[in-house]
Amino acid sequence: MSSSDNTNAIAERTKQLRRHEVAIAELNNLPSSSAVYQRNCNLYFRTTIQKATTTEQKQLDSVKAKLRNLNPSSS
């Protein structure tokens, strides 16, 4: 993988990381009675805030692991 490709991959993962962090913050600020819809492929399904937060947290952890693999020197 070239340096440019690696830099682009790191930048993309960092964007994904921020998106998941923002989604978690927004979910944490919703009233517990709010309905939330979670995207699954091209469909949206109604779910609870807790389930949506858990899913976002798992995706965040996955992106963090991939980012660590791309940039092991910063660990």
Task: Give the chain's domain count.
Answer: 1
Instruction: Count Cβ atoms below 10 Å from residue 63 Cβ, excluding itself.
Output: 20
pLDDT value at position 46? Answer: 96
d(CA 28, CA 15): 20
Q: What is the pLDDT of residues 3-56, one digit of tens each?
A: 777 888 889 999 999 999 999 999 999 998 899 999 989 999 999 999 999 999
The range of the structural domain enclosing residue 18 comes to 3-74
**pLDDT higher at 72 or 23:** 23
The 3-state DSSP class for residue 34 equals: coil
Domain CATH code at residue 62? 1.10.287.370
